[in-house]
């Protein structure tokens, strides 16, 4: 299988090189219009077919690696380092992306898959698709160069073939890790497609905003995959690492968050170009930045430039990525300078109190957040380069800067949809903002009554203050969004005689982008409320003998047993805990500690009991070597479940936004005498 996989990668590299060179030559010949003996159209078609063949070649290499893993072929170094005979089947499959070489192969395979779909749909706009396909071939060529010469997954183990492998990293032996990396990479790689279209459209001076409409679904789907990947990573960190949190501002966490921020900004600002012919330069550079940030994220993870639980050891492969980013940035700058007169805006912002200005502020806030996070992530590298000493930046830095930015973004999420295009009047402001402002202050009063105190004993409590602001703004945003649904549904109900629920469904079907986007906004608010709950986290730690008890929040935990177990993959220790509330036994938790035999590494198995108000989160810290008794740490984490529920709402809203809208006349029983409903362009993602 090693020989087959290596051969498949060489074939894929040759195909990518031909796709890049032949495609570039064909486009050059078409642009100059000079007569040649070679038909540019035929040359371009052969380049496209080579691009299609790349998918099958890379698929062959991916199949070879997976097959070797399941066959326990430890003569391949990668299989030996990341698998073993006792590894369950699901994790043998996940071993493909658990290491540097395999994850790069996954990237190349996903990119080949995206390119395969793109090239099959080339007849929509042959020339633009040819540009995009050629640019994708250039990206593919880079990753295949890595896989063939810098990080080959099929290198053979030096010396006698081992009888067993080292096994998968215990931290990765969790169900979500089977889908989290592919989901994240589907987002990362997916942004290559709108990047290719944007750069291609700029190169050929493509008229209008058609390239944005073509890539709308590509961008939205990539954004959705990246969103799901980030949240799955958060849940993995919460359920596996055993520290009681879900986001630690780890450099690799930040690396996935930065392209999400710029991608979100792009999804918002493209509506300005579609509606008003504005922000063309913004949009081009937003998608350029998003793609470059996905490459930066891969560099941080695969090059070992930063210290992270997710990152690999320092590797020369990081230099390859840096060179690639420099080349991409140079091409983007050169193309922009050459064609910048093509990106002139057709209109200007007429009023600061308008939907146009809200989009601009939204972009500025998202980019500010991205810059702050990027600065904090790269600061250790920069400090070591300048001073020779690595200075790390911890969570307090991000919390002090990013949280206020996030709250301001939440404010814009509620304000934007209520503002009309061009300009507004005081009468319209009063009419649209009465209910949201009432909801805001009502929530402030309820929170104060419930015990949220920004000032305690004359001391300012930053956590409570941020939580209070988040709850109040969240209530205001939800009220604003729901009022938009109610207003539109009332018009339909008046026209058709339907009830409000049916009218609301009909409203969403008539403009799925707009109202799907509103649902995404609600999901973002739910997530932020869940995040704000961390201000009220409590914890307790105790050494528990038999029938000893500890208390956290309203719960009392009693140790009723301590057992050990083993199988051929790992040894484990369990603490059996009865959990009481108000004197009554409600359930039992079994936090554990595993020790994996192949890798000689431990793993924490967290026990979590979730209810809408909070999570009871219990960790078995180990045993006291002197007494042999288990040490238990328990957390009460309010509103964590809201984060995962908010993700479900975001997914639902995004899927709705991807569904084509229905013609209002086709869904109305009064189609013979339809009444026009004013429907404005949608707002897709959080922070409008």
pLDDT exceeds 90 at position 125: no
Q: How confident is the model at residue 304 (pLDDT cuts 50, 70, 90)?
A: low
Which of 594, 587, 622, 617 is closest to 242 using CA atoms? 617
Phi, psi of 126 (to 5 degrees): -55, -45
Residues 6+ apart with CB under 8 A from 249: 373, 376, 394, 395, 398, 399
Helix (H) or strand (E) holding 410: helix 395-415
pLDDT at 351 (0 to 100): 64
Q: How confident is the model at residue 393 (pLDDT cuts 50, 70, 90)?
A: confident
d(CA 634, CA 593): 15
452-to-244, 442, 444, 471, 648 alpha-carbon distances in Å: 22, 14, 9, 11, 28
Residues 6+ apart with CB under 8 A from 266: 194, 219, 283, 286, 287, 290
Residues 6+ apart with CB under 8 A from 18: 46, 47, 50
Percent of the chain with pLDDT over 90: 57
pLDDT at 648 (0 to 100): 97
Average pLDDT over residues 548-575: 90
pLDDT exceeds 70 at position 668: no
Pick 536-641's CATH classification: 3.10.450, 2.60.98, 2.60.34, 1.20.144. 2.60.98
* Structure-block tokens of residue 501: 């629920």
- To the nearest whole number, what is the mean pLDDT of the chain? 87
The DSSP output letter for 156 is B
266, 268, 273, 274: CA torsion to nearest 10? 120
Q: Is the pTM of this model over 0.75?
A: yes
Residue of 167 and 675 predicted with greater confidence:
167
pLDDT at 636 (0 to 100): 96
Phi, psi of 24 (to 5 degrees): -65, -45
pLDDT exceeds 70 at position 649: yes
User: How far apart, in Å, do the first and last CA atoms of the chain sit?
Assistant: 51
The alpha-carbon radius of gyration of the chain (Å, integer) is 28
Enumerate the domain spans of the chain.
1-168, 170-382, 402-535+649-667, 536-641
Which of 154, 117, 149 is closest to 136 using CA atoms? 117
637, 639, 641, 644: CA torsion to nearest 10? -110
Residues 6+ apart with CB under 8 A from 441: 472
pLDDT at 669 (0 to 100): 45
Residue of 171 and 668 predicted with greater confidence:
171
pLDDT exceeds 80 at position 181: yes
8, 10, 16, 21: CA torsion to nearest 10? -150
Which of 652, 355, 403 is closest to 516 using CA atoms? 652
Tens-digit pLDDT profile for residues 309-347: 555 445 678 889 999 999 999 999 999 999 988 888 766
3-state secondary structure 25-60: HHHHHHHHCCCCCCCHHHHHHHHHHHHHHHHHHHHH
d(CA 408, CA 420): 20
619-to-150, 632, 635 alpha-carbon distances in Å: 41, 6, 8
pLDDT exceeds 80 at position 35: no
Average pLDDT over residues 218-243: 94
pLDDT at 305 (0 to 100): 63
Does residue 311 contact residue 300 with C-beta atoms inside 8 Å? yes
* Topology of domain 170-382, CATH: 1.20.120
Q: How confident is the model at residue 688 (pLDDT cuts 50, 70, 90)?
A: very low
């Amino acid at each position: 299988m090693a020989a087959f996989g290596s051969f498949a990668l060489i074939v894929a590299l040759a195909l990518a090189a031909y796709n890049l060179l032949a495609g570039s030559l064909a486009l050059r010949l078409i642009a100059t219009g000079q007569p040649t003996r070679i038909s540019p159209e035929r040359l371009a078609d052969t380049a496209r077919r080579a691009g299609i063949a790349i998918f099958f070649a890379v698929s062959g290499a991916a199949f070879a690696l997976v097959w070797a893993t399941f066959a326990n072929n430890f003569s391949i170094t990668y299989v030996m380092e990341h698998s073993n005979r006792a590894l369950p089947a699901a994790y043998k499959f996940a071993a493909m992306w658990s290491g540097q070489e395999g994850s790069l192969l996954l990237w190349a395979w996903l990119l080949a898959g995206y390119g395969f779909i793109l090239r099959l749909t080339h007849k929509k706009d042959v020339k633009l698709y040819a540009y995009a396909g050629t640019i994708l071939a250039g990206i593919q060529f880079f990753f295949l160069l890595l896989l063939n010469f810098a990080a080959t997954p099929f290198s053979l183990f030096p010396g006698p073939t081992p009888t067993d492998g080292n096994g998968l990293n215990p931290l990765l032996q969790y169900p979500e890790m089977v889908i989290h990396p592919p989901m994240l990479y589907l987002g990362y790689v997916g942004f290559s497609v709108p990047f290719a279209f944007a750069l291609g459209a700029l190169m050929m001076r493509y008229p209008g905003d058609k390239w944005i409409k073509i890539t709308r679904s590509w961008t939205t789907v990539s954004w959705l995959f990246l969103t799901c990947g980030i949240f799955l990573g958060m849940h993995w960190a919460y359920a596996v690492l055993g520290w009681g949190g879900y986001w630690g501002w780890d450099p690799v966490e930040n690396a996935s968050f930065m392209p999400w921020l710029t991608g979100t900004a792009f999804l918002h600002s493209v509506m300005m170009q579609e509606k008003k012919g504005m922000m063309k330069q913004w949009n081009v550079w937003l998608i350029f930045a998003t793609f470059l940030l996905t490459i930066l994220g891969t560099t941080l993870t695969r090059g070992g430039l930063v210290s992270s639980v997710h990152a690999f050891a320092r590797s020369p492969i990081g230099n390859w990525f840096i060179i690639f980013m420099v080349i991409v940035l140079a091409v983007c700058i050169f193309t922009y300078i050459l064609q910048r007169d093509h990106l002139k805006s057709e209109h200007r912002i007429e009023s600061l109190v308008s939907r146009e200005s809200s989009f601009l502020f939204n972009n500025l806030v998202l980019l500010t957040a991205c810059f702050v996070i990027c600065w904090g992530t790269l600061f250790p590298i920069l400090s070591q380069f300048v001073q020779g000493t690595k200075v790390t930046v911890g969570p307090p830095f991000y919390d002090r800067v990013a949280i206020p930015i996030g709250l301001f973004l939440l404010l814009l999420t509620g304000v934007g949809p209520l503002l009309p295009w061009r300009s507004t009047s005081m009468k319209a402001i009063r009419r649209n903002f009465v209910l949201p402002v009432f909801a805001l202050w009502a929530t402030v009063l309820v929170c104060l009554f419930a015990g949220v105190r920004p000032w305690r004993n004359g001391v300012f409590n930053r956590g409570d203050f941020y939580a209070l602001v988040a709850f109040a703004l969240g209530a205001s945003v939800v009220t604003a969004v729901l009022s938009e649904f109610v207003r539109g549904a009332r018009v339909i109900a008046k026209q058709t005689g339907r009830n409000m629920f049916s009218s609301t469904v009909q409203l969403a079907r008539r403009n799925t982008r707009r109202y799907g986007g509103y649902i995404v906004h609600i999901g973002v608010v739910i997530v932020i409320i869940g995040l704000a709950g961390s201000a009220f986290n409590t914890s307790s730690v105790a050494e528990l003998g038999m029938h000893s008890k500890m208390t956290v929040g309203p719960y009392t935990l009693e140790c009723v047993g301590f057992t050990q177990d083993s199988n051929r993959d790992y040894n484990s220790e369990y603490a059996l805990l009865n959990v009481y509330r108000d004197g009554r036994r409600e359930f039992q938790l079994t936090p554990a500690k595993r020790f994996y035999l192949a890798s000689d590494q431990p793993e924490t198995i967290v026990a979590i009991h979730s209810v809408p108000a909070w999570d009871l989160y219990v960790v078995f810290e180990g045993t006291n070597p002197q007494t042999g008794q288990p040490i238990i740490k328990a957390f009460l984490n309010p509103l964590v479940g809201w984060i995962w529920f908010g993700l479900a709402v975001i997914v639902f809203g995004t899927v709705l936004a991807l569904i084509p809208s229905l013609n209002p006349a086709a869904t109305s029983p009064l189609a013979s005498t339809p009444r026009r409903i004013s429907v404005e362009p949608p707002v897709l993602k959080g922070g409008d």
